[in-house]
Amino acid sequence: MVSLVIPRLSGDIFGLLSNSLIMQDAEFQYLSQLAFQKSGIVINGSKRDMLYGRVMKRIRHLRLSGFSAYCELLQDSYTGELSEFINAITTNLTAFFREEYHFDFLQKVALPEFKSNNTDKKLRIWSAGCSTGQEPYSIAMSIESQLPHWDAKILATDLDSDVLCRAQHGIYADLVGIPIAYRTQYCSDMNTHHQYVMDEKVKQLISFKQLNLLEPWPMTGLFDVIFCRNVLIYFNDETKKKLVQRFYSLLKPGGYLFIGHSESLQSYNTHFSLVGQTIYQR
């Protein structure tokens, strides 16, 4: 349980107004500990401005007097603000076919391998930390074009309920990163404000679910591939190590784990073999 000692605001009405827009150290401590406890995301002093900006947006939206009032609101479990706070502190940057070499490997090495080995024509992929969906849709387009009629399923999960909702709709303002051939085949112009919608053929391959990676995972079957890219960077070493071990036990022997370009498993002493740029094999 994160506890908070809320500092008393002092001064006249002008002092009060200016004080309330300052995030006191105790409030920063409370908010960063809460973020860590609920999501594993580490917010240290160097990210104080980021936290300030994101929480300030909530404060304005809720028309609160300042950080002290916001921290009090978070302590009231009936308001539902905790999930809004978590949504506010996640970083959701993503793109179609981000880190293209992963998709080259998927298309040129992994999928042909599954084509020869998976005689049941079954493929299970997990996009863990899928954000607004560009990652699972990129995987889905790759699979649909190469292994049509397979029993392929992509589980796409994230902690942030807002991004998941957007991902589920599959509507995007731009298609940057999607190869032209895939755009023609899998994306339709909605003829309104330059919005594009993903085709049902790829949508139906994906199940979007809210899942906190820190909590127990309900999945029982094993995966051929797990993508967990640009998520581990927000965690501390202990959390990263535990997650990597859990990914290992959920992969089929020979299955692949893709992590982000700035991430590495080097210091975690795992049983994975490095087989490509931030691509590991069980």
Binder among 28, 40, 88, 178 for ligand SAM (CB under 6 A): 40
The residue among 233, 253, 255, 241 whose CA lies nearest residue 111 is: 255
The partner residues of 279 in beta bridges, in order of sequence, read 258, 276
Binding flag, residue 155, ligand SAM (CB under 6 A): no
Binder among 229, 259, 265, 279 for ligand SAM (CB under 6 A): 229
Annotated active-site residue in 58, 98, 158, 229: 158
Does residue 48 have an active-site annotation?
no
Binder among 212, 264, 270, 281 for ligand SAM (CB under 6 A): 212
Binder among 91, 146, 168, 195 for ligand SAM (CB under 6 A): 91
- For residues 234 and 40, the answer to whether their CB atoms sit within 8 Å is yes
Binding flag, residue 90, ligand SAM (CB under 6 A): yes
Binding flag, residue 138, ligand SAM (CB under 6 A): no
Stretch that binds ligand SAM, among 58-66, 77-85, 115-123, 158-166 (CB under 6 A): 158-166
CA distances in angstroms from 214 to 31, 39, 120, 241, 273, listed in the order given? 18, 7, 32, 12, 24
Q: Which of residues 250-279 bind ligand SAM (CB under 6 A)?
A: 260
Stretch that binds ligand SAM, among 28-36, 47-55, 77-85, 129-137 (CB under 6 A): 129-137
DSSP codes, 181-202? HHHHHHEEE-SSTT-EEE-HHH
Stretch that binds ligand SAM, among 27-35, 217-225, 230-238, 272-280 (CB under 6 A): 230-238
185: helix, strand or coil: helix
Tokens read off for 76: 């009231």
Binder among 70, 97, 234, 280 for ligand SAM (CB under 6 A): 234
Burial class (CB in 10 A: 0-12, 13-18, 19+), 117: exposed
The separation between CA 154 and the C-alpha centre of its own chain, rounded to angstroms, equals: 15
Place of tokens 């999501």: 39
Does residue 54 have an active-site annotation?
yes
Binding flag, residue 213, ligand SAM (CB under 6 A): yes
Cα distance between residue 158 and residue 171, in whole Å = 18
Residues 6+ apart with CB under 8 A from 128: 157, 211, 213, 226, 227, 228, 231, 247
Binder among 71, 159, 198, 244 for ligand SAM (CB under 6 A): 159
Binder among 27, 144, 160, 224 for ligand SAM (CB under 6 A): 160
The type of residue at 239 is T
- Distance, first Cα to last Cα, the chain: 37
What positions carry a catalytic annotation?
54, 158
Residues near ligand SAM (CB under 6 A): 39-41, 90-94, 98, 129, 131, 135, 158-160, 163, 212-214, 229-231, 234, 260
